[in-house]
Structure 1
């Protein structure tokens, strides 16, 4: 019996440490930062995937702060299916997921947290690229959100 339990623990540890392929068919999760919970799901579609790719193509620079997440606002987590390869001044790799943070403070600019296949991540600012339209189409827009592009350093 002890051998069976040991084998079960070993196989369990191996399965947890082995990379798993995750297929993102559910789409995006919208997280209310203040409430601390997912408040909406956006179905996966070509439009959703293309929006994330547009954000990636409009990067204007790295976030210069260690504080990536605003204290109030929303976060939109979008898994990219299929993963998207990108090479620019800030990212060189295959992007598997992005999280768009949009805050309410006038000092917090929309921030895109980008995750790559190699388990790396980078926080970047983007040009104002259809963000307001995207938020309105998905019933997420609020005039309290700061949608201004970050000033170039």
Structure 2
């Protein structure tokens, strides 16, 4: 009986002593800048507080559904921003959490955003005053 108790205690001790790396399976995601003209990701940026704040601001200032037939531009940029932590959205068009935002920045018109809901359905939205995000955040100026 003593040997079994010692064996169980040793197993518990080893389990506690071995560090578990929960981030190993999910590496940090970068902000990706997609050049529509070149049809490729042309650069990546490490997420920072300014980018996260700008993304949250745009999500909170959603004013309506983007109504043009083709929401993807022929020229310009698309910026994919991972949101950590996720941003809660509760408005007349969407209720849930957003963990990734894509800002669509056409050359000839104001920007709009793309988000995916919990079922991975795309939603295109306009933001308050159709603001253009500060391009220097993404090294696009």
TM-score normalised by length of structure 1: 0.68
Contact 1:24-1:80 at 8 Å conserved across structures: no
> Which residue is equivalent to 1:114?
115
Where 1:101 maps in the other structure, the secondary structure is strand
| Counterpart-to-counterpart distance in 2, 1:26 and 1:139 | 18
Contact 2:33-2:79 at 8 Å conserved across structures: yes
Where in structure 2 are there 5+ consecutive unaligned residues? 1-24
Where in structure 1 are there 5+ consecutive unaligned residues? 1-21, 142-153
Q: CA deviation at 1:60?
A: 1.4
Aligned CA distance change for structure 1 residues 30 and 128 (closer, same or farther; 3 Å): farther
| Counterpart-to-counterpart distance in 1, 2:116 and 2:56 | 13
TM-score normalised by length of structure 2: 0.73
Contact 2:63-2:125 at 8 Å conserved across structures: yes
| Counterpart-to-counterpart distance in 1, 2:93 and 2:27 | 25
After superposition, what is the alpha-carbon deviation per residue over 1:48-86, rounded to whole angstroms, capped at 9, x for unaligned?
222111000111110112311100000000111122111
Equivalent pairs counted in the alignment come to: 117
> Which residue is equivalent to 2:44?
41
Contact 2:50-2:137 at 8 Å conserved across structures: no
After superposition, what is the alpha-carbon deviation per residue over 1:17-57, rounded to whole angstroms, capped at 9, x for unaligned?
xxxxx856232100000100111112112222221110001
| Counterpart-to-counterpart distance in 2, 1:33 and 1:123 | 17
Moved over 4 A (4+): none
| Counterpart-to-counterpart distance in 1, 2:89 and 2:61 | 12
Would you say 1:127 and 2:140 are equivalent positions? no
